Amino acid sequence: MVKIKRNVMTIGVLSFILLLICLWEGAVYVRADRPQVEKRALFISSYSYAWDTVQSQIEGIQAGLGRNVTLDYEFMDTKRVSDEQAMKLFREGLAYRLSKVEPYDVILLGDDAALQFALDYREELFAGIPLVFEGVNDEELARRAAGEPLVAGVIEKLSLENNIEFGLKINPSATRVVAILDDTLTGQAERKRYYECADKYPQLSFKEINVSKLSSQSLRYALQGVSSDSILIYVVMTEDADGKLYTSMESVKLIVENAGVPVLRMVEAGIGDGLLGGNVVSMYKSGEMAAELARKIISGFRAEDMNTIMDSPNIYCVDAEVMARHGISLSVLPRDAKIINYKESFLEANRAVLIPCSILVVALVIVLLWIAVDHRRQKKMMVELESARKIMESASQHDFLTGLSNRSKFMSDLSELIREKKPCTVMMLDIDEFKKINDSLGHTAGDEALQQVAGRLKDLESQIFTPYRFAGDEFIAILQSSQFKIVEKTAYACRQIFAKPFKLAGNTAKICGSIGIASYPKDTEDLEQLIVCADDAMYQVKKNGKNDFAFYEGKKSAE
């Protein structure tokens, strides 16, 4: 009887355990049968990733979308090239890439050119996909777009009036306003708004420095000629009449070095690098707000039911060091202003502690003075030694002719990436028929060709792309990515450096180049072999007609 009871209990326990297992497997099966659908968003920027406002926009977009949305990027790069051919190539490339991936749930558009592009090619590229724009300062374009179905966004209003008012606060004797503008799409829109302000300030004359109509030297003279009774506002500066393209940092550097008056700015870029600042658009906030709209659309809200945000995310942002240098008091700022480079005085930071400690400080001052003198002497010696070390290190890692990092630095950087198992791509670039340049125009012209190619490669340099002088007429670059989209886009950019003619020995000359591409670890995990693979791909281009790029093993991208 006892055995029967024990057997019954055993069977009962086993049955209960079996039931739990079945319920668990059923639960797992139900969960597996309902996978979460991955949401996808595409951000199309009017500019390039190297443009600092774009980096702020992307950070804001990532914060607004959250972690559950896959975000891809496309860059129109209109700050450097904005002609019909560039637009055609971008459209064709984007159409091809869109045909190879799953449809996106929403398209985010950064700045005016991207919005206009999306509207122009909407039926071809984005039919039925909601569009969310941000950073658009052409109010008429934004309103027209917002009237379209499945379109919403965040307008950008660079507040000229607020900055003129701020300029009058810091310079009450001002008699004129001078704006730094160019003839880009953004520049034209802001020029119109700029002169519309003139009627509101009859006591001020409105002038402009049109960068697009001035040579590099004339631009410097124009900036140096801005008088002390002027309110100088940097709006946009992309390309001068010489065809020189300016990155944001290059523009800021040129303006700060030549302008003798404080420079107001309507976006955050450059504040902290010598610009005074002003009433600015927060590009991070703009991207975040647009992404929040996009996330709502992905979650089920209808885009046509969502209003475009007409209140631009503006704040006051100034550089305290620039304010101090021009003798401007921080008291003119509103209370909620963002102040960078502000350094609290020792008294402000330690007021409560200084009073009880003052007696102890007096007693120790003699000892501290002796220690300080000895410390300064040692510190000065260390600084001098460190400076000498950096000079020697820089000389050993840079090519004297082109200023690029040399082969030794390339090998060191690539070795470190491979050692850390970071995917990367090597691009070998060789000037086609370089010997003919030396033979026909002389070795000086050959050096000029190398320097100009190096300069154009240097313009492409970013956080993930670094060019080097490899040997002779060969250059090489490391792209810290092996993703096909990024590699292909970078390869097109490298090939594009040969699109414009070169100045050699006082003459205009056409130079072409062949580019070979190999990726780690896709093509090889060996450092030396990776270079050989890129070299093989480059010579394949040479055999097939030159002036192009090719991937190792003959994988060519769509033209």
Q: What CATH number is attached to the domain comprising 331?
A: 3.40.50.2300
Residues 147 and 165 in one domain: no
> Which residue range forms the structural domain that includes residue 260?
160-281+314-340
Distance of CA 429 to the CA centre of its chain: 24
Give the separation between CA 282 and CA 64, rounded to whole angstroms: 14
Give a yes or no: residue 270 inside a domain. yes
Give a yes or no: residue 448 inside a domain. yes
Residues 373 and 424 in one domain: no
Give a yes or no: residue 12 inside a domain. no
- Number of domains comprising the chain: 4
Structure token digits, residue 35: 């996978």
What is the pLDDT at residue 514?
A: 94
Neighbouring residues of 332: CB distance < 8 A, sequence distance ≥ 6: 166, 169, 170
The number of C-alpha atoms within 13 Å of 419 and in the hemisphere containing its C-beta is 6
Residues 486 and 523 in one domain: yes
Contact 94, 118 (CB under 8 A): no
Structure token digits, residue 425: 């791509």
Would the pTM count as exceeding 0.75?
no
DSSP state of 548: S
Residues 381 and 483 in one domain: no
What type of residue sits at position 428? Answer: M
Last residue of a domain, one of 120, 155, 190: 155
Beta bridge partners, 72, equal 42
Contact 414, 527 (CB under 8 A): yes
Last residue of a domain, one of 340, 358, 375: 340
What is the pLDDT at residue 30?
A: 38
Give the separation between CA 210 and CA 511, rounded to whole angstroms: 31
Name the burial class of residue 240, with classes exposed (0-12), middle (13-18) and buried (19+) by CB atoms within 10 angstroms of its CB: buried
What is the pLDDT at residue 258?
A: 95
Residues 196 and 140 in one domain: no
CA 280-281-283 angle, 5° bins: 135
Distance of CA 419 to the CA centre of its chain: 28
Give a yes or no: residue 249 inside a domain. yes
Residues 144 and 214 in one domain: no
- Could you tell me which of 60, 198, 39 has the C-alpha nearest to residue 106? 39
Give a yes or no: residue 514 inside a domain. yes
Give the three-class secondary structure for 77.
Answer: coil
Residues 508 and 443 in one domain: yes
What is the pLDDT at residue 173?
A: 93
- Region for residue 425 given its phi and psi (left: phi exceeds 0; alpha: psi -120 to 50; beta: otherwise): beta
Residues 258 and 367 in one domain: no
Residues 414 and 532 in one domain: yes
CB atoms within 10 A of CB 361: 10
Last residue of a domain, one of 323, 340, 357: 340
What is the pLDDT at residue 559?
A: 35
DSSP 321-360: HHHHHTT--GGGS-TT-EEES----HHHHHHHHHHHHHHH
What is the pLDDT at residue 305?
A: 67
State which H helix or E strand residue 41 sits in. strand 39-45
Residues 53 and 87 in one domain: yes
Quick check: bond before 521 cis, omega within 30? yes
Residues 374 and 499 in one domain: no
Beta bridge partners, 209, equal 180
Residues of the chain with pLDDT below 70 are: 1-37, 303-308, 310-311, 345, 347-349, 351-352, 354, 358, 388, 393-394, 554-559
What is the pLDDT at residue 337?
A: 86
List Cα–Cα distances, 445 to 86, 434, 511, in angstroms.
29, 10, 12
Give a yes or no: residue 29 inside a domain. no
Give a yes or no: residue 424 inside a domain. yes
What is the pLDDT at residue 82?
A: 82
Give a yes or no: residue 293 inside a domain. no
Residues 318 and 177 in one domain: yes
- pLDDT tens for each residue of 376-413: 888 888 887 777 677 776 678 888 999 999 999 999 99
State which H helix or E strand residue 120 sits in. helix 111-120
List Cα–Cα distances, 264 to 57, 205, 276, in angstroms.
21, 17, 6
